[in-house]
């Protein structure tokens, strides 16, 4: 068989440029941990009325967190996120509210990648929850 015997193909699927964002429905790439043993507090940043209140932690990663808050949060508002583990370890993380579309469920995006938090989440994980 020679190349002349093969049919001409105008469309080659293997020669396409693939954009990964279009293939990923869930764009959160880092490992998410579902934890119910971490206490979480959120402080909104405001000159006149800063508020500190408890939130429920749904899942967390080194880049952000999903929370439930009965206080209304605005998209792109700056927050401080406080975590306390059962072993007494505490983390204070600066970030912003990245997702408000499913309120009272909100998405937080951390300002920087939290390597120490990621290590501590991995080492203190006791229950494996998949979802």
pLDDT by residue for the chain (131 residues), tens only, comes to 565 666 655 555 555 565 555 545 555 567 788 888 999 999 998 777 889 999 999 999 999 999 999 999 999 999 999 999 999 999 999 999 999 999 999 999 999 999 999 999 988 987 665 54
**Class of residue 81 by CB neighbours under 10 A (exposed 0-12, middle 13-18, buried 19+):** buried
Q: Is 6 inside a domain boundary?
A: no
Helix (H, G, I), strand (E, B) or coil at 29: coil
Q: Is 125 inside a domain boundary?
A: no
Cβ atoms of residues 49 and 43 within 8 Å: no
- CA–CA separation, 32 and 41 (whole Å): 19
Backbone φ, ψ for residue 78 (5° rounding):
-80, 135
- CA–CA separation, 13 and 110 (whole Å): 38
Q: Establish whether the linkage from the previous residue to 7 is cis, with ω within 30° of 0.
A: no
Looking up tokens 């967190």 gives 65
Pair of tokens at residue 81: 């996120």
Q: Is 17 inside a domain boundary?
A: no
Domain membership of residue 82 as a residue range: 34-115
In this structure, what CATH number is given to the domain that contains residue 86? 2.40.10.220
Q: Is 8 inside a domain boundary?
A: no
Q: Is 127 inside a domain boundary?
A: no
pTM for the full predicted model: 0.72
Total domain count, the chain: 1
Q: Is 10 inside a domain boundary?
A: no
Please name the residue ranges forming H helices in 48-99.
none
Q: Is 3 inside a domain boundary?
A: no
Cβ atoms of residues 65 and 81 within 8 Å: yes
Q: Is 15 inside a domain boundary?
A: no
């Amino acid at each position: 068989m020679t190349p002349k015997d093969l049919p001409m193909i105008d469309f080659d699927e293997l020669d396409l440029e693939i954009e990964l964002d279009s293939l990923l429905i869930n764009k959160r790439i880092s490992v998410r941990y579902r934890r119910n043993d971490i206490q979480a507090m959120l402080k909104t940043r405001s000159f006149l009325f800063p508020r500190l209140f408890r939130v429920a932690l749904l899942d967390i990663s080194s880049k952000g967190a999903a929370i439930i808050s009965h206080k209304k949060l605005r998209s792109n508002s700056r927050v401080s996120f406080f975590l306390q583990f059962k072993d007494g370890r505490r983390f204070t993380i600066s970030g912003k509210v990245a997702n408000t579309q499913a309120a009272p469920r909100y998405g937080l995006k951390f300002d920087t990648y939290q390597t120490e938090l990621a290590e501590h989440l991995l080492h203190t994980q006791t229950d494996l929850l998949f979802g």
